[in-house]
Structure 1
């Protein structure tokens, strides 16, 4: 009898724990689907707030849904906020943003609702760059567990507790009973209320190895004994009456024609409930019973087929018919387990097609789908030693290699052969397509010990292959991860650099052939409070990738305008200040009430004595002319209409054509310093500089030579007819105060 009571307690605890585990799995699926919707691409937008407010009402267990941005600032929230809340110190938020995975908080007091909750987070990725731009968060109230305990219908005088990871009671039944944790489990314990109970507990672990919740159930022995005896008595009475009726009314006939067929049907029912395969039973001799038996077998077969189909669909990519990301993760997890016990080696290969979007844009998505199907077949046919080939999504394929020799060249040779295979022409109904791919490799155990770390390493290696020119293979190394972390840290620090006044401008003089200062180039510098001075090439590329270059560029323009107002007091109205402008600044359009960089450049300065004059010259690179979008093109045309002068920086290092230079009315060409510094040493550099100057003058364009460091370079440039000179021969970049004293 005690075993029955103990089994009841264990079953109740297990049911409650299973409900929590199901809750975690359901929240994870919910978050994965939610972060894919377009409104979450901008966590600070009104669309995001409207969306999460609607989502919060979908499930009574979700008392709040929110989306903090990549810095942990929460404005997009299901419950309206008076002001943004900083949740970046929450460990589960930080892990979701930096480790790029599904995380849980454990029991905590939620800042937005002030209630005891368990919170879950899942990273939101930019749909274009796949970088993390925020985290979807679901808040589950612990009051749900109080309701669950009330619905358990425990025997009289029974108790149930829910404990957090620190052993504190967060929910109990009966509510307000203030029950205490027993010192012993799975045995009879006399409580302070003089009721004897048998206690059982079941722990639920979080996404790591820590205990998230513990469910404790205490079943009263006396009430349970009475309940069991009552059930036994009722069963005995019912059984006795049934037997007497059978013996009196039907005897042997009833046994042979009714009871035995019914027993067979009961057995079939139990087997069906236990998901066992039903074999064709023998005939009962009763046609109706045989018909029912056949229907049960048919139901079992259909159920098995449906379950098999569902499992197959869950693990298969619908487009190509190969394994999907879920199947690959499961297979990799299983192979990691056996590889760890048998000391085997594994390799994860990530194949990402180069510029696949162009195929969809030019030939249509049907053509793109056919390309993916063709490549999937090729990979299957050519990779006979692969344990699994999958398509995790988009234009990516993943391969799992096992039992290769310790020489890693085997995997590298396989990847190089895959590159050649992928580049074979693909025949479509009306076109022939050639695609290339970038491949990243991660090895177990060198590059990771679990599914997430290995797939992340392969992903980083693949992006490194992209950076190395595409159509190549790269293996993961820890320097990649270190560089990525440094990049993330720089991007994070950039967000506060303007607010903390860490940026400043230096001004490098530009002189005419007579040695008179006629221009200055404004150059940004970053004095980091911890890392010290960071040169522009150490943060400008990251600022452009994170689009922070827009705000930084506007700060530079405003600061340079103020500097020009000061400089003209000494050098006169003719003095100019040039600023470097990123393509993002020109193409980015803000709201009607907030000007963009192009508008700031064309806006006249109040202190200028000439109407519409602001004294600034913008410097753009050659590559910007080759890749103009509509907004950038309009901005350049507006500069020409407003009389704003444009300088083409680093000329000779890019790919611009004379047609682009003529169409956009370029005022200055700046010869790159790499050519200037070879003057007098390399005859080709002499000829190139002379040709650039001659060509520019023919087109009516003035020439500025950068990087002039010696008098011989300056003399030779003057002989070639160069209009302006800039470099350390005249001055290094100096502060505005020093520029006012410069002679």
Structure 2
């Protein structure tokens, strides 16, 4: 950086002497012969150090440097004076107008050193000023960054709060925020002596939507449901998504318990009357709703939500697409179901399950041509539990998967045992759950189990009984699975035919061998013309498609005779035998010719 020095002296020789002395130190030297000329040069040049004579015409050195101090305070000001001017110079130094003075004559080396120190002082002052400006700029920047950081933190806190309290898919309050709001409403209702209603809602058969259309469509459906639910409640109420396809609503300021039911029915109607359009698909969806009321069904959030959930489960058991108010009896039933589920989970490990067999009898020769394997539970605590009590719970809890596999293994094991005992033509029908059928590589699992027990699928030792609803669940995958098993030799029958979808198209597409007429059509066959027409149509349909037809629930000789006249191929029911344990079934197989004589 260039150092500029201004020399001001009315004596040209003195100025020249100073210039000669200081030129070798590398300064850029400006000269003036008066104070006014010096001020003009200062306007034109950035000067670091000024050396001015004290005695000058017009304006003394002290006056000149005092003026410079006012205009250019960062310059370093030095005055040359005689001893007579000491008092005025000292006063200027005290005021800060002058940095230093030299007396005439001066010491050359001392002057050089002092001028160099003056420039250092000036440069230090400049550097200090620069640093102060940088610090000020940095402070301004830091202040701005702090503001931006505070704003970002506030935004982040808002995001975190939203993530913590709102569902990311539907933008509804989540379970945590729902419980907090319910807690607030309960406290307010307690203070104001009011009622609060809690609605627990669940989409009926939502899993089928995911399985049939895929999870993206399922997510869109949940978003649409969320908007639809929000449109059905007041601004003061809260609707939340508390789990997968489960929603909950808090109704505040409830005047009467029936008001909650009216809201629930309005919600049910809004879904039942029109389909929901998702992408290129239209989906009909229904809901089940459970209702609890504060303070009747609970005095805190936990109890209220539990009561609403219990009522929701009751709505599911009542056939779905309805709402139920919580009752104390529901809680007892719920506890009993929970206890039953616990015992069911232990039953498999304790070997409490067993198979009973009900024979299928040929109508022409009264010969046993097969049997149906039926699951029984011999509970250590309950005794023999009827299937109606525990089969639905197996389905609901998913326990049907391990239990269903056990049934298939046990049936294969028994078929092998009867074959080894020399009992020919043993055909055991095993019922399948839709949950089993949807398992990955179900066909491979069935064939592997048969192979483990030395059974040839082509020998028809095992037959699989399917329901109509199972067949129509994911048709493409169903066809693949059935064809794989059919090609290996396994036969299929449709159980309870006529009570499900009854779509005739699947009879052509699926490799079905036989139809089983549901017992509800057989029960009043002799007295109900409609049942007679339905049974006759099913038999005719079976014959036209080359399928054998078996009637279930045959209990009287009149039913048997009429079915024989109508051309039914086989029958199954109490007229011939109840489902019996393996020992009794073995006896029936060995003595069927005597037990069921031809023409009887």
User: Aligned runs of 1:159-238 on 2, under 5 Å?
Assistant: none
| Greater fraction helix | 2
Report the secondary structure of 2:459's partner residue: coil
Aligned residue in 1 for 2:262? 413
2:488 to 642, 657, 676: 642
CA distance change for structure 1 residues 496 and 713 in 2, over 3 Å: closer, same or farther?
same
* Mapped pair 1:654 → 2:504: no
User: Aligned runs of 1:731-742 on 2, under 5 Å?
Assistant: 731-742=577-588
Aligned residue in 2 for 1:596? 445
Deviation at 1:719, TM superposition (A): 0.6
Deviations along 1:29-75, one digit per CA (max 9) or x if unpaired, are: xxxxxxxxxxxxxxxxxxxxxxxxxxxxxxxxxxxxxxxxxxxxxxx
Deviation at 1:509, TM superposition (A): 2.2
Deviation at 1:629, TM superposition (A): 5.9
CA distance in 2, matches of 1:647, 1:591: 17
Deviation at 1:311, TM superposition (A): 8.3
Deviation at 1:527, TM superposition (A): 0.4
1:532 to 378, 383, 407: 383
User: Aligned runs of 1:552-701 on 2, under 5 Å?
Assistant: 552-568=403-419, 572-589=423-440, 596-601=445-450, 603=451, 606=454, 612-613=458-459, 615-628=461-474, 632-701=478-547
1:401 to 251, 260, 271: 251
Aligned residue in 2 for 1:506? 356
CA distance in 2, matches of 1:591, 1:694: 33
Q: How many residues align?
A: 443
CA distance change for structure 1 residues 481 and 658 in 2, over 3 Å: closer, same or farther?
same
Counterpart contact for 2:198–2:248, Cα < 8 Å: yes
Aligned residue in 2 for 1:516? 367
CA distance in 2, matches of 1:477, 1:598: 48
Aligned residue in 1 for 2:337? 487
Deviation at 1:348, TM superposition (A): 1.2
TM-score by length of 1: 0.52
Q: RMSD of aligned C-alpha atoms? A: 4.0
Report the secondary structure of 1:596's partner residue: helix
Report the secondary structure of 1:657's partner residue: coil
CA distance in 2, matches of 1:670, 1:433: 31
Counterpart contact for 2:189–2:253, Cα < 8 Å: no
Deviation at 1:585, TM superposition (A): 2.9
Deviations along 1:392-447, one digit per CA (max 9) or x if unpaired, are: 46555433223323x31122122223444566788999998876544332111222
CA distance change for structure 1 residues 705 and 424 in 2, over 3 Å: closer, same or farther?
closer
Counterpart contact for 2:298–2:307, Cα < 8 Å: yes
* Mapped pair 1:472 → 2:322: yes
User: Aligned runs of 1:100-179 on 2, under 5 Å?
Assistant: none
Report the structure number with the largest CA radius of gyration.
Answer: 2
CA distance in 2, matches of 1:547, 1:675: 31
CA distance in 2, matches of 1:617, 1:434: 35
CA distance in 2, matches of 1:718, 1:738: 26
CA distance change for structure 1 residues 372 and 605 in 2, over 3 Å: closer, same or farther?
closer
CA distance change for structure 1 residues 616 and 339 in 2, over 3 Å: closer, same or farther?
same
Unaligned runs of 5+ in 1: 1-287
CA distance in 2, matches of 1:722, 1:427: 45
1:720 to 566, 570, 573: 566
CA distance in 2, matches of 1:579, 1:434: 33
CA distance change for structure 1 residues 495 and 441 in 2, over 3 Å: closer, same or farther?
closer
Deviating more after overlay: 309-318 vs 328-337: 309-318
Deviation at 1:340, TM superposition (A): 3.7
CA distance in 2, matches of 1:519, 1:311: 64
User: Aligned runs of 1:5-44 on 2, under 5 Å?
Assistant: none
Deviation at 1:710, TM superposition (A): 1.0
2:228 to 375, 394, 401: 375
Report the secondary structure of 1:704's partner residue: strand
Counterpart contact for 2:552–2:571, Cα < 8 Å: yes
Counterpart contact for 1:587–1:630, Cα < 8 Å: no
TM-score by length of 2: 0.63
Deviation at 1:361, TM superposition (A): 4.1
Report the secondary structure of 2:465's partner residue: strand
Higher relative contact order (CA 8 A, sep 6+): 2
CA distance change for structure 1 residues 299 and 686 in 2, over 3 Å: closer, same or farther?
closer
1:329 to 179, 190, 198: 179
CA distance in 1, matches of 2:377, 2:279: 55
Report the secondary structure of 2:296's partner residue: coil
Counterpart contact for 2:230–2:239, Cα < 8 Å: no
CA distance change for structure 1 residues 700 and 404 in 2, over 3 Å: closer, same or farther?
same
Deviation at 1:707, TM superposition (A): 1.1
CA distance in 2, matches of 1:366, 1:728: 49
CA distance in 1, matches of 2:345, 2:482: 28
Counterpart contact for 1:622–1:651, Cα < 8 Å: yes
CA distance in 2, matches of 1:612, 1:411: 59
Counterpart contact for 2:287–2:320, Cα < 8 Å: yes
User: Aligned runs of 1:170-319 on 2, under 5 Å?
Assistant: 309=158, 313=162, 314-316=164-166
CA distance in 1, matches of 2:205, 2:442: 31
